[in-house]
Amino acid sequence: MASDIRWPSPWHLLLFLGGLVAVNRVSMEVYPGEVVGLLGNNGAGKSTLIKVIFGVYRPDEGQIFFEGKEVKITSPMDAIRLGIETIYQDLALAENLNVYSNIFLGREKLKKLFNLIPVLDHEYMLQESRRVLDRLGIEIPSLRNKIKTLSGGQRQSVAISRSIYWNARLLIMDEPTAALGVTEQQKVLNLVKTLSSQGVAVIIISHQLYDVFQVAHRLVVLRRGDKVGERLTHETHPDAIIGLIVGAELIEGSRRS
């Protein structure tokens, strides 16, 4: 069964913030193993839309379907239980903890000491973390290293690994290559390709069009809360997408008038 999140009618998703319609007339689908780039200028509605998907905001109207069934997502925990994870720019990592402790953060594995006292099962968490990193082809010198000692790309990899370990089927990534060097950007993009090959659906929000064109199968463009375009990546080019983002057709029309 197709694992998709979709709004079946382009008129069904409405979210009002401060008297303004923040997201309107948005209909999109995401399928297993598909990477969708969600594009638009600041204020276009991208972050609002993913917060609706993740349960941070509640839409005034609309429907969300996951794996063919209508679902109600009223909180991030609802989304996580469904297998939807979001990685924001701040990554939500505890810098004073090591790699495996971050992967199990809030869901730590316990064992009984002398069959009486519950203590952290460090060895189990270490081995399980190594297993998920190996699955994704991620190389980190030591999983006992604290997050604050890692590079930006390695931190991004830890955040992704945490989501995948806890069975994310849809991963939403907000500016995953921002503030990374060229080499680390490419590592993160390769990791997105690995996720796609393993059947994980990915939505990427990014201002880096070159990065998105490397990994996305499909592009969805928002402008002022409306969906203004959707293109297969191999059938379009960056200049055309920039035109949708900035409203080039509106600018051209105003010049004629």
pTM (2 decimals)? 0.86
pLDDT at residue 15 in the model: 54
Residue 174 near residue 123 (C-beta atoms within 8 A): no
Residues paired with 171 in a beta bridge: 85, 202
- What pLDDT, on the 0 to 100 scale, is given for residue 59? 82
Taking 90 as the threshold, does the pLDDT of residue 12 lie above it? no
Reported confidence tier of residue 11, pLDDT bands at 50, 70, 90: very low
Our separate counts of H helices and E strands in the chain read 9, 13
Q: Is the pLDDT of residue 155 over 70?
A: yes
Is the pLDDT at 3 greater than 50? The verdict is: no
**Is residue 34 scored above 60 in pLDDT?**
yes
Q: Which domains are seen in the chain, by residue range?
A: 5-92+168-256 (3.40.50.300)
pLDDT band (50, 70, 90) for residue 20: low
Sign of the dihedral defined by the CA atoms of residues 227, 28, 214, 150, in that order: positive
At 243 the pLDDT is 95
**Cα–Cα distance, 48 to 59 (Å, whole number):** 10
pLDDT beyond 90 at 214: yes
